[in-house]
A and B are shown apart, each in its own frame.
Chain A
Amino acid sequence: MFSFDKLNYMIGGGIENNVPLIAEFMPARWGYEGVIVDTYVNNEYGKKFYNLEKKESVCSYKQSYHIPLLKELLNECKDAKTNSFGIKTVLVIKNLEIIKNEIVKENKINKAVRFPSPERISMENFNIALSNEIETYFENLNSFYSITFVGISLQKEVIYVEMDNKNPEILRVLRSNYYNNNLNEILTNSMLKKKLIVLANNTVMQKINPIYLLPAKTKFITLWTHFYAPKKYLFGKLIDTFWFNVMVLWAYSIILFIFLYFNILKQTMSIVTLMKTFLKSKN
C-alpha cells in the first residue's frame, strides 16, 4: 500500500490534493478509511486519550510548524523591504497574502488571541509598525498554544496517575493491547518530509496528524475531505467517519442497484449507438 500523494501527478494531483477524484468512486477507499480510523479512535486506549491527544496535536502543530512557517515568511518580507537591492515585490505580496489568510483562519477559531482586522495586511500597508504588530501577535499565539499544551499534558498526567494508583499494570496492558505503533505512523503521516504545504491559493494546508484534524465545516456533506479524517460533516453535524463511510458505501450500492434495475448502462450505450447512427445517416 502507498499513499495517494505518491500516485502519478496526472491521476492523483500530487501532495496538494487530498484524495484523488478517481479514488472517491472506489468502495475500498471508503471501507479502508472507515475501518482504520475506527480501530484507532474507538478502542479502550483511544477512548481515554484520543480527545486529549487531538488537542495536543492542534497545539504542537501550531507551535512546531505553523507559527514558525509564518514567522519565516514575515522575516522574508522584512528582509525584502529593508534590502534596497531590487525589492522582491512578488515575494512580499505572496507572503503577506499567506500570512493574512492564515490569521483570518486563526481569528475564526481562536477566542483568546486575536489580530484586529487582518484585512489591512497588504503590500501597501506593510511597514515596521505593522510588522512588529504581527510579530507580537505570533509571539502571543505561540505562548497561548504552548501553555495550553502544558495544560493538556497535565490532564493526561492526572489520568496516568489515577490509573497508576489503582493498578500500575492497567495502563501498560491497555497500551500493549490497544495501541499500535504502525497504525499510528500511518494515521499521523509522521514519516512525511513536508509537514505542511502552501497551496496555490495562498493558504497553508496541514499534512501531518490527519487523524487529529477535523475537516472544514460545511452545511451539507464533506465528501472531498482529507484522508483519515476522524469525523465528517453530514448536514452540518459531525459524525464518526466509520458511519459516514458506511452510508457512502450504501449510497453507492443503491445507486448501482438503480443503474442495474433500470438498465441504465445499457440504455446509455444504446443512446450512444443511436447518436452514432444518427450522425452517420446525416453524413
Chain B
Amino acid sequence: MKQMKKITFLTLAAITLFSCGNDTETGDEQDLLNDFAYADSLQKQVVISEEIIEEMIHSIPSPIEMTSLILSSGAKFDEHILNNPDNVEKYVSAHSKALNLGIYGAELGYLNIYEKTMVSVDYISAVRSLAKDLKVDHFFDFQTLKRLASSSDNIDSLINITTQGFSKMDAYLREQNRTKASVLIVTGTFIEGLHIATQIVSKTSNPKITERIGEQKMSLNNLILMLNVYKNDPDVAKLISDFNELKVLYDGVEIITVYGEPITKEVDGMLVIEDQSTSEVKISKETLEKIIMKTKELRNKII
C-alpha cells in the first residue's frame, strides 16, 4: 500500500513538473529560406515600374462611377445579371479568386448604388471569403459592413468603406510584391462593370450608357498593357488573348476629342479650371451588339 502511494505521488509530481516547461524559445522552426529563394529567382524576371502600373490602375474607372450613371439613366435594378454569390465555392486557384474578387467588388458597387443592402450581405460574405483566401481580408471590417448593410440609411458609409477597403487592398498588394493579384482584381472589376453596362444597354439602348461603353476603349488598352507584364503566366496569357478579341471589336469604336480652351471660374470663392474639351463617341449598332456578346462570353468564362 505504501509503495502504491509513493507511485501515485511520483506520477502526480511528474505531471506537475512537466507541465511547467520553459516557454521562452519560439517554436516557429519553419524554414522559409527556400521559399524566399524560390520567389526571389522568379521575381527578377518581371521588371516593371510600379508607378506605371499604379497610373494605369487609376485610369480604369471605379464601378461606382459606371453604376451611378446607370442609376441616373433610370434603368431598373436587375439581380439576374450579377454573379451568384454561391459561386464563390467554385474558385480555387489564386488567379480565379483575384478575378472574381474584382467581379464581386463591382457587384457590391451596383447593389449599393441601388440601395439593395439586404442582398448585398451575401455579396459581402463572398468578398470576405475570397479576400480571406488571398490573405487581404484585414482591409474589410466585415462585422461593420454587415451591420451597415442591415439598414439602407447607412448607404453612404457602406459605399465609402467598401471603396476605401478596395483601394487600400490594392495599395497593399502592390507594396507586398503582389501586383499581379492587384491587376487581376482590377481586370475583374473592369469586365463586370462593362458587363453590367452592356446588359443594361441591350435592354434599354440608353445613349449615355452606350457612350460610356465606347469610352472604355482607352481603359481596355491600358488593361491589356498591364496584363502583358504577366504574360509568362499561362492563365494570364489566356486572359490576354480573350481580351484581345474584345479589343479588335473596340477598334470599330471612334473617339473624337474636340479641344476647347480651358476656362477659369470662381466657385465658392475658389478658382477652378474647367476643361472645355469634349469627346464624341461613335459606335455603330453592329459593333455595339458584338461588344455586348463578346463581353458576356468573356465574363462567363471568368465566373
Contacts and interface: CB of A to CB of B under 8 A. Distances in A.
Interface of A: 54-60, 63-65, 105, 108-109, 111-112, 142-157, 160-161, 164, 171-172, 175-176, 181, 188, 190-191, 193, 195, 214-224, 233, 238, 251, 254-255, 258, 262, 264
Interface string B1-33: 100110010011001011101111111111011
Contact of B33 (A111, A191, A221): A111
B132 A109 contact: no
B142 to A, nearest CB: 8
Interface string B231-246: 0001000000000000
Given A221-B21, A223-B19, A112 B26 contact: no
Contacts of A255: 11-12, 15
A152 B175 CA distance: 17
Given A156-B94, A157-B93, A146 B177 contact: yes
A109 B26 contact: yes
A233 B95 contact: no
B35 A151 contact: yes
Interface residues of B, number: 49
A184 B12 CA distance: 37
Contact of A264 (B8, B135, B142): B8
B280 to A, nearest CB: 44
The secondary-structure label for the interface of chain A is helix
B103 to A, nearest CB: 18
Nearest to A144: B36
B19 A224 contact: yes
Contacts of B4: 262
B137 A190 contact: yes
Contacts of A56: 135
A148 B35 contact: yes
B29 A151 contact: no
Contacts, number: 139
Contacts of A221: 18-19, 21
A154 B93 contact: no
Contacts of B129: 181
Given A147-B43, A154-B42, A262-B8, A112 B92 contact: no
Contacts of A176: 89
A175 B92 contact: yes
A59 B28 CA distance: 12
Contacts of A172: 90, 92
Contacts of B176: 63, 142, 146, 149
Interface in B132-189: 132, 135, 137-138, 142-143, 172, 175-178
Contact of B30 (A55, A181, A222): A55
Nearest to A65: B138
B135 A155 contact: no
Interface of B: 1, 4-5, 8, 11-12, 15, 17-19, 21-30, 32-33, 35-40, 42-43, 89-90, 92-95, 129, 132, 135, 137-138, 142-143, 172, 175-178, 234
A141 B37 CA distance: 15
Contacts of B89: 175-176
A150 B30 CA distance: 16
Nearest to B5: A262
B19 A58 contact: no
A258 B94 contact: no
B147 to A, nearest CB: 13
13 contacts: A142-B176, A146-B175, A148-B36, A149-B176, A151-B35, A157-B95, A216-B26, A217-B29, A221-B19, A223-B18, A224-B23, A262-B1, A264-B8
Interface centre among A144, A148, A222 (most CB of B within 10 A): A148
Contact of B138 (A195, A214, A218, A222): A195
Given A164-B93, A222-B21, A148 B32 contact: yes
Which 4 residue pairs are nearest across A and B when measured between Cβ atoms?
A151-B39, A218-B21, A146-B176, A60-B135
B92 A217 contact: no
A37 B251 CA distance: 56
Contact of A191 (B29, B143, B177): B143
B164 to A, nearest CB: 16
Contacts of B25: 108, 216-218
A141 to B, nearest CB: 12
B27 A215 contact: yes
Interface centre among B5, B15, B39, B40 (most CB of A within 10 A): B39
Nearest to B15: A251
A52 to B, nearest CB: 9
Given A150-B178, A152-B35, A172-B90, A219 B21 contact: yes
A143 B175 CA distance: 9
Contacts of B22: 218-219
A7 B155 CA distance: 35
A215 B24 CA distance: 11
Contacts of B21: 218-222, 233
A39 to B, nearest CB: 19
A151 B12 CA distance: 48
A235 B39 CA distance: 36
A64 B92 CA distance: 23
B35 A155 contact: yes
A72 to B, nearest CB: 14
Contacts of B95: 157
